[in-house]
Amino acid sequence: MLQSTTAEIKPRSALRVNPAKTCQPIGALYAALGIHGCMPHSHGSQGCCAYHRSHLTRHYKEPVVATTSSFTEGASVFGGLANMTQALTNIFSIYNPDIVAVHTTCLSEVIGDDIPMMIKKSYDDGIIPSGKLVIHANTPSFVGSHMTGFSNMTKAMVTYLSDRNGSTKNQLNLIPGFIDPADMRELKRLAAMMNVNIVMFPDTSDVLDLPQTGIYKMYPKGGVSIPQLKSTGDSIATLALGHFASYAAATALNDKWEVTNAFLELPIGLGPTDRFINALRNYAGVDVPESIVQERGRLLDMISDMQQYFHGKRVAVAGDNDNVIALVQFLTELDMKPVYVITGSPGNHFETRVGEILKEQVPDAVIKQNTDLFALHQWMKNGPVDLIIGNTYCKYIARAENTPFVRFGFPILDRMTHRIFPTVGYMGAIRLMDKMFDAMMDHKDRECPEELFELVQ
Ligand code: SF4
């Protein structure tokens, strides 16, 4: 399908071909699902909401619920107050959530709808039942990406809900970034192994990775609870994972309640996971148990066993900024060479940080934020790689270039187990290595001449 991509690169300034990002509301909707008893609400037209729901459903393979203000021509001209009022009336009477998390769309942003005013009016008019909550995040899709939307909704959880009763609780806040439910579950497992109490927000484990019981629950048992969110102002500290997804919420919490912040990268690979474990240890004042030392040792053993196959391999990486920053560190730990590193999301920190990571091992790496998969493909035409790592859309490039491919990040639309198996932590790193090794070895077995077809590696 992409066989006709050319190697000749022409300058482009106002054209995206095969974007490596999606729109803000998708991130906001995903974050909202990480609050227990929450109904995400899309203030815009039905088409946007249908797309956001279906995109998330295709990645998580679970039914993703959300409601919409269902704009038509009238709302587009006169504003969406009437639609919002009717929507909130219906949502609370039909679906009875504990909380509604409103995000905007391009249309309501262009109109300039005043969401805080609408929410206040709904409280004043008794549309929102006593004891129920409505929060919001502005998520204009013509700026940023789904990462921005996730960040904005996570920050809204702090702005609207965090509180302080004055006595510090023996707990840490953990803002996990835009990662899968399996990753969130893994972070909780590691914290529990260290006897550290955490309030993780958002938390989509047990929401989008549910066991099959035969019974559908609109509000599954998972998600951070509202009392937990309210308690975040009393926590010892906040660990914020990922500059782009978590910085804003952690900063808002510090501004509001002076909760100490620790900004970390996503714990993907050895070094970033070490730093995460160390932060848990330092802030909670606990020791690292032998069971975690053992897990780390297993990862080290795998690295030493596989190093000869990874050494010097040229890799193209595409994905979300926070996730790629962490992954690139892991690839350098494996002695691989990430020669092309891109994200579709804007933000200069990406190029600065990836440049720092690669300056010794791959000084001539091409690193670009706010770009697209077409650019990546053209670079590969001019200098092939041994492996591509990225979301499902990269499979077209992998096929066109006959290059081994590992699915990583969001969205993965054509495989199933990413919501079950983590990529964070020591065990997640082993899984990633396994996938990379298999992809390269399967390719070699398929393509190599008969005399190099080996039984044993
Ligand atoms: S980019 Fe804007 S118009 Fe398109 S789906 Fe997202 S919110 Fe709707």
- C-alpha triplet 397, 402, 408: angle, nearest 5°: 50
pLDDT for 71-91, tens place per residue? 999 988 889 999 999 999 999
Query: 42: Cβ–Cβ under 8 A, 6 or more apart, which residues?
Result: 25, 29, 48, 49, 52, 66, 67, 68, 69, 102, 103, 105
User: CA–CA distance from 190 to each of 96, 278, 288, 289 (Å)?
Assistant: 34, 12, 10, 10
Same-domain pairing of 331 and 190: no
Domain residues for 309? Answer: 291-452
pLDDT for 117-170, tens place per residue? 999 999 999 999 999 999 999 999 999 999 999 999 999 999 999 999 989 999
Same-domain pairing of 414 and 426: yes
Same-domain pairing of 182 and 286: yes
Catalytic choice (100, 102, 106, 448): 106
Which ligand 1 atom sits nearest the alpha carbon of residue 139? 7
Evaluate: CB of 204 within 6 angstroms of ligand 1.
no
Same-domain pairing of 204 and 139: no
Domain count, the chain: 3
Ligand 1: centre distance to CA 240 (Å): 28
Evaluate: CB of 19 within 6 angstroms of ligand 1.
no
pLDDT for 19-32, tens place per residue? 999 999 999 999 99
User: CA–CA distance from 297 to each of 133, 139, 302, 343, 430 (Å)?
Assistant: 46, 43, 9, 32, 11
Provide the pLDDT for residue 1: 78
Asked whether the beta carbons of 316 and 340 are under 8 A apart, the reply is yes
Name the average pLDDT for the chain.
Answer: 97
Evaluate: CB of 149 within 6 angstroms of ligand 1.
no
Same-domain pairing of 30 and 103: yes
Q: Is 320 part of a structural domain of the chain?
A: yes
Provide the pLDDT for residue 308: 95
Same-domain pairing of 140 and 184: no
> Is the pLDDT confidence value at 3 over 90?
no
Q: Give the residue whose CA is nearest to atom 7 of ligand 1.
A: 105
Q: Give the residue whose CA is nearest to atom 2 of ligand 1.
A: 106
Ligand 1: centre distance to CA 54 (Å): 13
Same-domain pairing of 442 and 330: yes
- Which of 21, 30, 48 for a ligand 1 pocket mutation test, highest count of atoms within 8 Å of Cβ? 48
CATH of the domain at 203: 3.40.50.1980
Asked whether the beta carbons of 198 and 186 are under 8 A apart, the reply is no
pTM of the model: 0.97
Ligand 1: centre distance to CA 139 (Å): 10
Same-domain pairing of 447 and 403: yes
